[in-house]
Amino acid sequence: MNTNIALLLVLAPFAGFLINVFFGKSVGKTVSGIIGTLSVAISFATSIYFFNALTAEPKGFNITLFDWIHVSNIKIDFGFLLDQLSVLWLLFVTGIGSLIHLYSISYMHDDENMHKFFAYLNLFVFFMITLVVGSNLLVLFIGWEGVGLCSYLLIGFWYKNQDYNDAAKKAFIMNRIGDLGLLIGIFILGHLFSTLDYATLKTAIAGATNIDLYWLSAAALCLFIGATGKSAQIPLYTWLPDAMAGPTPVSALIHAATMVTAGIFMITRLNFIFDLTPDVQSIIAVIGAITALVAATIGLVQNDIKKVLAYSTVSQLGLMFLALGLGAYEVAVFHVITHAFFKACLFLGSGSVIHALHGEQDMRKMGGLKKVMPITFITMLVSSLAISGVPVFSGFFSKDEILLTAFHHNIPLWVVASVASIMTAFYMFRLMFLTFFNAFRGTEEQKHHLHESPALITFPLIVLAILATIGGLISLPGNSWLNEYLTPILPKLASEEHHLGSTEYLLMAVAVVGGLVGIGLAYAKYNKQNTVPGDDASITGFAKVLYNKYYLDEIYNFIFVKSVNELSKFFRDQVETNLSAFVFGFGKVTNSISLQGKKVQNGSVGLYLFAFVLGLCAIISFLFLAQ
Amino acid sequence: MNNILNQIGIENYIFLSVILFCIGIFGVLYRRNAIIVFMSIEIMLNAVNLLFVAFSTYHQDAQGQVFVFFSMAVAAAEVAVGLAILVSIFKNSGSISIDTLKNLKG
Amino acid sequence: MSILLILFCVLAAITLSTAFLTVFSRNPIHSAIYLVICFFSVAGHYLLLNAQFLAIVHIIVYSGAIMILFLFTIMLMNLNKENEVHKPRITRLGAIVSFCLVCLILITIFINSKPIAGEYIATGEDYQSIKVLGKILLNEYMVPFEFASILLLVAMIGTVLLSKKEKLEK
């Protein structure tokens, strides 16, 4: 029974994909959209079923479908592990996924390839579910690769634009580089423990007396490299801002709520490995903190509304990795959930704005939209307050937990994270003020067509805004439902005591004040003074460096792409010409030999007879001498 | 009845046959007239036949003579066909010098 | 010197001289005549070796059929005019070289083989009369015999085909 429901969970989106691929064009746009949404909604319903079932059976459901690989002493079977962590992930992936599908029905309505869009979205959800429910690292890897593929397909959805295609390729290739790390990590783990199954790994590590920590750290580091690729951390984060080339629902689903959280999921899944390698954890924490700061600084000066949100995502993911690096997995999971709510809301809201302005994404040409698009404004305001860490909203609770953990472990990291949070508040409200306040800066034509978006767009916005508001309730300090829920996965939670002392209240106050300072600065500059960022040409100095993303893309291009190009040119010019001359030389030699040999056959019978006689003499002498 | 080779000795027959054979080879290589070449080939065949018969007497066995029988049959067939080919070539090219038969030049 | 040896030497002289003259005559008709005489002398050798049937068959087939064919061909195609092209010196040299080579090799071989010692076998039985020959031919060598007849048939057909005048398409 559970097996069947698990199969339904995984295969419903895949069925949606198949139907949309084969029949999407013939059934029409709305129907294909409804089919897509329905398949994800079915998965959501089954995840709720499993959520309820887990209260009765806290051990989780281990469903084996079939024996897959059996090589010497490594046995990998294809199965699902539905425990607290995977069901939690499933709930928000499929839940937010269905909302975004609903949103896309209206958003992509003008596109002629809408059925293809829903097919790709469904395929993505299928792979994401596979990634999350897999019972071993290899099934996770299948999902990992699959979501990378779907990301490529969806980023380059409007394939007629070569820039979008390049962005899609960049995303895929950078993901692949990370995947190499993941694969190497999987190989090392498989070699060390002869298994890739989570449960078996856990017992093997718990029971092992002498684990080679050097190799375990190497495996953990390689797995983390895979996570940096997928979750856009330094050094493999440059694909995420370029990935904004895809349609806004794609950015919301993949690059805010689901795919980029895969790295965090994997590390949380394998927490028992990372707990044994404190060095790698330090590396993770430091990289997370630095990414958070760097991305926040870049986001301060961007003018494209989606790029600001993209850098915000990278920054928030950095904070999550900081939490993971400090061993506070439950805090990272909490922030993942709240971030999914408010970031998806922000992206969908920006999509609504872009839709109303018929494709305009530059904030310098927006403004004064709050009267024309009230629902969008209010929902985005709520989400911005959440991300800035204003109390009551969900972001406050999750971000505060991260800052608290950082403070208890390592003060410099706390400073870095706090600065990043202040900058977050600043640029988010810069976005809000530039987009919704003061006067409209676009063309007259656009001004006449401004209107609030239809219900299918605003409904998901409202739902997500509500969730962003009340989402903090799942893990209140001192009384965290989430921590109790995740205890079977993270056993050390049971022994931890969370008490709120004066330090904690002080830190909370500091964080809130910091957020309000950021909002105030943004208000002062962009609302009161009504500053509008200038044209690209007018940006100078350090701001220019930030605007050009610290020239990191150019640096990568110079170091990696150019050198590979030079190497291939070398091979083409030097090595290949010589090699082909050598190979052709064989032919030439044979040719010249045969040219000389041709002279034997001059057709004169006399010569042939002479050759007969000579051969006869030779044979006779040979036979005679052989005796 | 005595073996006649008692008087003559087999080595004489061998020498005779060998020299006849070499004359035949010389004729094949030296002359350019196709008819003479054919005749030289007949000389060679005869030399071999002679040797066969001589050895058949030496071994007192008839099998040597049987082989000569077949050799003669083959020689006859070969001459017939060879001369027919020669006649066609002569009709086509007008000369029977084997130097003109260069069509197989590679 | 027994009479048989003298007979052998005479016949051998005739054979060798006529063969030599065949190869070196200018006129093809002369070559053909010399060859006929050579064949007759070889038939004499056969008689000397007591192969009577073979001698008669030799005369019939070679002198009677093959040489007649040669003579007809030469005369009907008027090839008796000897228009010998001036042979290049290299071919003459090649011919002489190969002749000496073959001669040398064969004689060396035969000299270096063990000389035949002792008496020659003389069983006294009849091993080569026409009766015995016929029996062997048609018992043991039945299949080659039939093949030889097929060969002759095919040669006949081939010869006729090869020398037919081609019909000109109108």
Q: What is the pLDDT of residues A71-127, one digit of tens each?
A: 888 888 898 998 889 999 999 899 999 999 999 998 888 888 888 999 999 999 999
Going from the C-alpha of C22 to that of each of A351, A360, A495, the distances in angstroms are 112, 111, 124
User: By the CB < 8 Å criterion, does C113 face chain A?
Assistant: no
Rounded to a whole number of angstroms, the distance from the CA of B39 to the nearest CA of chain A is: 15
pLDDT tens for residues C16-60? 999 999 998 888 899 999 999 999 999 999 999 888 899 999 999
User: By the CB < 8 Å criterion, does B99 face chain A?
Assistant: yes
Residue A497's pLDDT is 59
Number of A–C residue contacts, CB under 8 Å: 21
Residue A295's pLDDT is 92
C102 vs B24: CB contact, 8 Å cut-off? Answer: no
The average confidence (pLDDT) of chain A is 87
C38 vs B36: CB contact, 8 Å cut-off? Answer: no
Comparing C89 with A113, the larger pLDDT belongs to: A113
Q: What angle do CA A465, A471, A473 make, to 5 degrees?
A: 145
Which chains have at least 3 CB atom pairs separated by less than 8 Å from chain C? A, B
Among C23, C40, C147, the strongest candidate for a mutation testing the B interface, having the largest count of B CBs within 10 A, is C23
Rounded to a whole number of angstroms, the distance from the CA of C8 to the nearest CA of chain A is: 28
Which chains have at least 3 CB atom pairs separated by less than 8 Å from chain A? B, C
Chain B residues close to A605, C-beta within 8 Å: 98, 101
Residue A188 has pLDDT above 50, yes or no: yes
B6 vs C122: CB contact, 8 Å cut-off? Answer: yes
Chain C residues close to B2, C-beta within 8 Å: 122
Rounded to a whole number of angstroms, the distance from the CA of C123 to the nearest CA of chain A is: 32
Share of chain A above pLDDT 70, in %: 98
Residue A69 has pLDDT above 50, yes or no: yes
Residue C170's pLDDT is 46
pLDDT tens for residues B27-67? 888 888 889 999 999 999 999 999 999 988 888 888 899 99
Chain B residues close to A602, C-beta within 8 Å: 102, 105-106
Closest partner residue to A620 (CB to CB) among C94, C105, C112 is: C105
What gap in Å lies between CA C115 and CA C117, rounded to an integer? 6
The residue-averaged pLDDT of A407-435 equals 90
Residue A419's pLDDT is 92
Rounded to a whole number of angstroms, the distance from the CA of B51 to the nearest CA of chain C is: 10
Among B11, B28, B35, the strongest candidate for a mutation testing the C interface, having the largest count of C CBs within 10 A, is B35
Closest partner residue to C102 (CB to CB) among A606, A613, A624 is: A613
What gap in Å lies between CA A84 and CA A76, rounded to an integer? 22
Which chains have at least 3 CB atom pairs separated by less than 8 Å from chain B? A, C
Chain A residues close to B106, C-beta within 8 Å: 598, 600-603
The average confidence (pLDDT) of chain C is 84
Q: Report chain B's C-alpha Rg in angstroms.
A: 18
Closest C-alpha to A383, from A416, A431, A419, A420 = A431
What gap in Å lies between CA A352 and CA A458, rounded to an integer? 8
Residue A434 has pLDDT above 50, yes or no: yes
Topology at the third CATH level for domain B8-93: Helix Hairpins (1.10.287)
pLDDT tens for residues A164-177? 999 999 899 999 99
Among A598, A599, A605, A614, the strongest candidate for a mutation testing the B interface, having the largest count of B CBs within 10 A, is A605
Least confident of A349-358, A368-377, A394-403, A535-544: A535-544
Residue C120 has pLDDT above 80, yes or no: no
What gap in Å lies between CA A12 and CA C126, rounded to an integer? 104
B99 vs A604: CB contact, 8 Å cut-off? Answer: yes
Residue A30's pLDDT is 86
How would residue A551 be classed by pLDDT, with cut points 50, 70 and 90?
A: confident
Backbone phi and psi for residue A214, each to the nearest 5 degrees, phi listed first:
-60, -50
Nearest chain A residue to B98 by CA distance is A605
Asked whether C58 and C66 are in contact (CB, 8 A), the reply is no
Closest partner residue to C105 (CB to CB) among A606, A610, A617 is: A617
Question: Parallel, antiparallel, or unpaired for β A61-71 and A74-82?
Answer: antiparallel
Top-confidence range, A249-253, A507-511, A611-615: A249-253
User: By the CB < 8 Å criterion, does A411 face chain C?
Assistant: no
Closest partner residue to A610 (CB to CB) among B29, B99, B105 is: B29
Closest partner residue to B97 (CB to CB) among C39, C85, C128 is: C85
As a three-state string, the secondary structure of A335-378 is: HHHHHHHHHHHHHHHHHHHHHHCCCCCEHHHCCCCCCCCHHHHH
User: By the CB < 8 Å criterion, does C105 face chain A?
Assistant: yes
What gap in Å lies between CA A53 and CA A122, rounded to an integer? 25
Please identify which residue in the block is written with the tokens 């000897």: C82
Going from the C-alpha of A421 to that of each of A33, A479, A531, B58, the distances in angstroms are 38, 25, 23, 121
Asked whether A387 and A312 are in contact (CB, 8 A), the reply is yes
Nearest chain C residue to B14 by CA distance is C110
Chain C residues close to A619, C-beta within 8 Å: none
Residue C114 has pLDDT above 70, yes or no: no
What gap in Å lies between CA A348 and CA A94, rounded to an integer? 16
Nearest chain A residue to C94 by CA distance is A610
A606 vs B105: CB contact, 8 Å cut-off? Answer: no
Predicted ipTM > 0.95:
no
Residue A522's pLDDT is 86
Residue A95's pLDDT is 92
Q: Please name the amino acid found at residue A317.
A: L
Backbone phi and psi for residue A65, each to the nearest 5 degrees, phi listed first:
-85, -50
- The DSSP-derived string for A427-456 is HHHHHHHHHHSS---S-HHHHHH--PPPHH
The residue-averaged pLDDT of A601-613 equals 80
Residues listed for chain C: 170
What gap in Å lies between CA B30 and CA B22, rounded to an integer? 12
The residue-averaged pLDDT of A353-377 equals 85
The residue-averaged pLDDT of A133-142 equals 92
Residue A492's pLDDT is 73
User: By the CB < 8 Å criterion, does B36 face chain A?
Assistant: no
Rounded to a whole number of angstroms, the distance from the CA of B105 to the nearest CA of chain A is: 4
Residue B34's pLDDT is 87
A610 vs C94: CB contact, 8 Å cut-off? Answer: yes
Nearest chain C residue to B2 by CA distance is C122
Closest partner residue to C54 (CB to CB) among B5, B32, B65 is: B65
Residue C50's pLDDT is 87
Rounded to a whole number of angstroms, the distance from the CA of B18 to the nearest CA of chain C is: 7
Rounded to a whole number of angstroms, the distance from the CA of B15 to the nearest CA of chain A is: 17
What gap in Å lies between CA A193 and CA A201, rounded to an integer? 7
Among B21, B25, B85, B93, the strongest candidate for a mutation testing the A interface, having the largest count of A CBs within 10 A, is B25
Rounded to a whole number of angstroms, the distance from the CA of B56 to the nearest CA of chain A is: 22
Please identify which residue in the block is written with the tokens 């950015």: A251
Asked whether A433 and A519 are in contact (CB, 8 A), the reply is no
Instruction: Write down the domain spans for chain B.
Output: 8-93
Chain C residues close to A624, C-beta within 8 Å: 105, 109, 112
Closest C-alpha to A298, from A251, A377, A240 = A240
Nearest chain B residue to C5 by CA distance is B8
Least confident of A188-202, A474-488, A606-620: A474-488
Closest partner residue to C4 (CB to CB) among B8, B10, B80 is: B8
Closest partner residue to C127 (CB to CB) among B30, B36, B61 is: B61
Going from the C-alpha of A418 to that of each of A432, A496, C144, the distances in angstroms are 21, 25, 111
pLDDT tens for residues A461-479? 999 999 888 888 888 777 7
- Biggest CA–CA distance in chain A, Å, is 119
